[in-house]
Chains A and B, each alone.
Chain A
Amino acid sequence: MKLKREWIGLGLTAPAYAWLCVTVILPLAMMLYFSFLSKMPMGNAEPAFSLRQYMAFFQKDFYRFLAWRSLMLGFHVTLFCVLIGYPAAFVLARLVKGRWREAILLLVVLPFWSNALIRIFAWTMVLRTDGIVDQMLHFILPGAPSIGILYSYPAIVIGLVHSFLPYMILTCYISLQAIDDTLVEAGQALGASNLTVFRRIILPLSLPGLFVGVVLIFVPVVGAFMEPRILGGRQSIMLGTVIEDQFTEVFNWPLGAALSFTLLAIVSLIFLAAYPLLKNRLKVS
């Protein structure tokens, strides 16, 4: 009976695994294969097995500088998403009730309904010199200097925070609203202050949501290329844009793939290093 149930479970999940295998694992495996080739196996090219593409990362200083830049971008965007997203989710899950909560949740996911490229171009209209923010400032304070920050690092951070903030709010919200109110009441009944209740009960229980939010934001932001290119100006170069150029400018998929996997390895190492710190706390859920 138990065996039959296992077979049914396997049968029901098989389409999902097959889909994942075809759409995620297979392309990634192909890219991993390409990253070990000297050139793309197309046309008259005769590729050979080579570690040259991976060596390039260690031979050229600017790749390492750009990897560091991309990691810092990931850190800054994730930090701002936590600072804005967690309190927003807290208010939504613990303080707002009824229909208001549904309405605000709808507003949170609203950006997902528009195309990411359109959102970024909209930011160029807001952040540029003589843009919407600048015009509002000059309406209130005529003669004030321009505060247009388009084509700068902060512009990239603003665009990416706007794009990824809903992930943080949603994952934290799910964790926070699942916390049993009686735990909070028990804490308060035992004389704990609101700060202690937050620190000892709410924050530890909501950590899994926070961690998932961090992963969902940090990983794609580290590889971002569209937002930096449109908003960054002279600051636009990141490892993501360099990888994009290998694919679109010179057809060097092996180098593009090798740089992508190197970045993936660095990000994995960061999470691996953080895992022992989080392991016990994440068990709470």
Chain B
Amino acid sequence: MTNFRSLKNHIVKTAGGLTALVLAMAAFPASAEELHVLNWKGWGTDEPWAVAEFEKETGATVVHDYITSYPEVFTKLRTNPGYYDVVVLNAAFVGQAAEEGLLDEIDPASLTNFPKLFPEMRESPQLMIDGKVRGVAWIWGVTSVTYDTNLFQTPSTSLEVLWDPAHANRVCWRDDPEDSVRFAALALGQNPDEPQDMKAIAEKLRALKPQIKAFWKSEDEWRKLVAAKECDLTIFWTSSADRAIADKFPVSYIVAEEGAIAFRDSLVIPVGSAHKEMAAKFIDYMISKGFYDGWVKAGGAPVSANSEAMAGLPPHSLARKILAAPENLKRINFKGPLSEEQRQAYLDLWQETKAYFAQ
């Protein structure tokens, strides 16, 4: 009996303790607003110093979730409506997301830094749809070719170097259907937004078979490959290449005469966000000069859409060098929107090509 009583007391005490703990935990979130941000890992919004600064300023808690491709944003928004408050989305996808009713309208008056954005970027038809702001221009950058500076005295100026047998089994390619098709189109002199001859593009991609060493999907994977000296040439992002150069990686960058691809990233607020006001504050902070200066200082930021912030780019940065050459700017192809059918066709083509590589 005594044992039973002691057990009963123990249970009552434990239950009491647990209840107190649950109540304390329930009370805690009320004091800190939780902001859910969806982005690529290591792509600005999750810079530890920036998150700490924003949290200190606003009292909010920033929680990140990550993607490995932009279409994954659609999966996450469709399957978790109301969970995310701020999402980084390529401008080419904003129209499709808005049409599907996934994005809320953003009031530009709530953003003190909005007027400082380059007009052609903030009023881009990809982001301002039917007179309503669905996405706020944030950053942009170039995807092109890096080369090993220990190997190349004078870098090639043509994309054809990627198909050069001298670099067989030494090319590290971005595992991305859209970029693969766009680069093959550029190499063939076709319009990457509307390729005329997909058969020729398929053949051009197949011709990469002896060249490819490995594929990468994230910056971290690229770094592992280059650090292991596996690649003479890679397809890569300017800002990430800047970061790698700052970390003493022996790489440099070209914008080939056939062209390069450029992406424009924007910040959007999904429909159903419970913290719209805080989300707008976060976006305003992300497009501020202060944040961009800090990101550049931390190493390897892309190019800002904020005209004032652009002055923060160091003179040696690849982005600044590319921007300084008008002929480079002319050769850059800003990714246009693709339909779902095109995306599926590109994926099918890329998977078929990779299956051919594996034969």
**Residue ranges of A at the interface with B (Cβ–Cβ < 8 Å):** 40, 42-44, 60, 62, 65-66, 69, 124, 128-131, 150-151, 229-230, 233-237, 242, 245-252
Contact = CB atoms under 8 A, between A and B. Distances in A.
A237 B358 contact: yes
Given A43-B102, A234-B357, A62 B352 contact: yes
B194 interface: no
Given A44-B100, A65-B359, A151-B230, A251 B75 contact: yes
Interface stretch (B27-35, B104-112, B211-219): B211-219
23 contacts: A42-B78, A44-B99, A44-B100, A60-B352, A128-B230, A151-B230, A229-B215, A233-B212, A233-B214, A234-B212, A234-B213, A234-B215, A236-B214, A237-B351, A245-B347, A248-B71, A249-B71, A249-B72, A250-B340, A250-B343, A250-B344, A251-B78, A252-B344
B13 interface: no
Contact of B78 (A43, A124, A236, A250): A43
A249 B358 contact: no
B73 to A, nearest CB: 10
A32 to B, nearest CB: 18
Interface string B46-87: 000000000000000000000011011011001100000000
A151 B344 CA distance: 27
B100 A250 contact: no
B1 interface: no
A130 B224 CA distance: 12
Given A43-B78, A65-B355, A237-B355, A249 B69 contact: yes
B95 interface: no
Contacts of A150: 228
Contacts of B343: 249-250
Contacts of B215: 229, 233-234, 236
Given A62-B352, A251-B74, A151 B214 contact: yes
The 5 closest A-B pairs by CB, nearest first: A233-B214, A43-B100, A62-B355, A237-B354, A42-B78
Given A151-B213, A234-B213, A235-B358, 14 more contacts: A43-B102, A44-B99, A44-B101, A60-B352, A128-B230, A129-B229, A131-B228, A229-B217, A234-B209, A234-B214, A235-B357, A246-B347, A249-B69, A249-B177
A52 to B, nearest CB: 12
Contacts of B74: 251
Interface in B74-131: 74-75, 78-79, 99-102
Interface residue tally on B, bucketed by range: 35 or more
Interface in B202-257: 209, 212-215, 217, 221, 224, 228-230
Contacts of A124: 224
Interface of B: 68-69, 71-72, 74-75, 78-79, 99-102, 177, 209, 212-215, 217, 221, 224, 228-230, 340, 343-344, 347-348, 351-352, 354-359
A129 B228 CA distance: 7
B229 A234 contact: no
A250 B177 CA distance: 10
A227 to B, nearest CB: 14
A40 B99 CA distance: 16
A87 to B, nearest CB: 32
Nearest to A44: B100
Contacts of A129: 228-230
A31 to B, nearest CB: 13
A34 to B, nearest CB: 12
A60 B348 contact: yes
A247 B228 contact: no
Q: Which residue, B69, B221, B344, B348, has most C-beta atoms of chain A within 10 A?
A: B348
Contact of B358 (A40, A234, A247, A252): A234
Contact of B228 (A44, A130, A242): A130
Q: In the complex, which of the residues B102, B209, B354 has the most CB atoms of chain A within 10 Å of its own CB atom? A: B354
Contacts of A229: 215, 217
Contacts of A236: 214-215, 354, 358
A131 B230 CA distance: 12
Contact of B68 (A60, A130, A248): A248
A236 B221 CA distance: 14
